Amino acid sequence: MSANALLLTVLGFFLGSLMGSYWLGKLVLKRDIRQIGDGNPGAFNLIKTGNMAVAVLGIIFDIGKGVIPTGLAMTFIPVSGWELLPVTLAPIVGHAFSPFLRFKGGKAIAVTGGVHIGLQPVFMCIGIPLFVLSYLIMSTSGWAVALSFALITLVQAVFFPDPVLVMIWLINAALVLYKYRDDLRVPPRLKRRS
């Protein structure tokens, strides 16, 4: 592993492990957001507090944790090829298994978005709409995430068939789906239209 890749992997894990949404809940809202919704310390439980200003800060923070190391790898501290694998996965692992929360971190959706925005900015045009579409179709969060990952993997493999990018996405998907394992034990259902 090159010095650049090692530096950015360590930086990515450290940034990923910073639980900004959890700390915003504690410091600003005086609430433990793990007591809300699904018990997740990530940005989406900040939304459930009803304070959208704080929730937006949490989402930006979590996305930034992924954008910074991968963006640096693609620009100022160049890393390429298979060395991108640890650099891109480190923020996701850091967030999902944060040492600051006894290795019980968040589900890493926002940080995943940040990683892939930094890695391939076109992700914003493809990944985010597919993610939203999946949430509109599926009734369970875990299955919505699974559908969005499947669709994005298909797009990645067909239109951006770089084996490194495909492998990054597949390992990323496995990590996130592991965090949603409880949701995935329930059979998938489509949302009912009212």
Distance CA 107, CA 128 (A): 17
Residue 194 within a domain: no
Supply the pLDDT for residue 194: 58
In a domain, 190, yes or no: no
- In terms of Cβ atoms closer than 10 Å to its own Cβ (0-12, 13-18, 19+), residue 63 is buried
Q: Which domain holds residue 146?
A: 3-184
Residue 55 lies in a domain: yes
The single-letter DSSP state of residue 53 is H
pTM to 2 decimal places:
0.93
145-150 long-range contacts (CB < 8 A, ≥24 apart) are 145/107, 145/109, 145/176, 145/177, 145/180, 145/183, 146/177, 146/180, 146/184, 146/188, 147/188, 149/173, 149/176, 149/177
What single-letter amino acid sits at 184? L
Q: Is residue 118 part of a domain?
A: yes
> Can you give the pLDDT at residue 55?
93
pLDDT for residue 33: 93
* Amino acid (1-letter code) at residue 62: D
Entry field: residues in the chain? 194
Long-range contacts of 148-151 (CB under 8 A, 24+ apart): 149/173, 149/176, 149/177
pLDDT of residue 128: 86
**Average pLDDT by consecutive 10-residue portion of the chain (194 residues)?**
96 97 94 89 87 94 96 96 97 97 94 94 84 91 93 87 91 95 92 72
Helix boundaries (H) for 28-83: 43-47, 52-74
pLDDT at 1: 86
Give the total number of structural domains in the chain. Answer: 1
User: Looking at the domain assignment, is residue 192 inside a domain?
Assistant: no
Q: Does any domain span residue 17?
A: yes
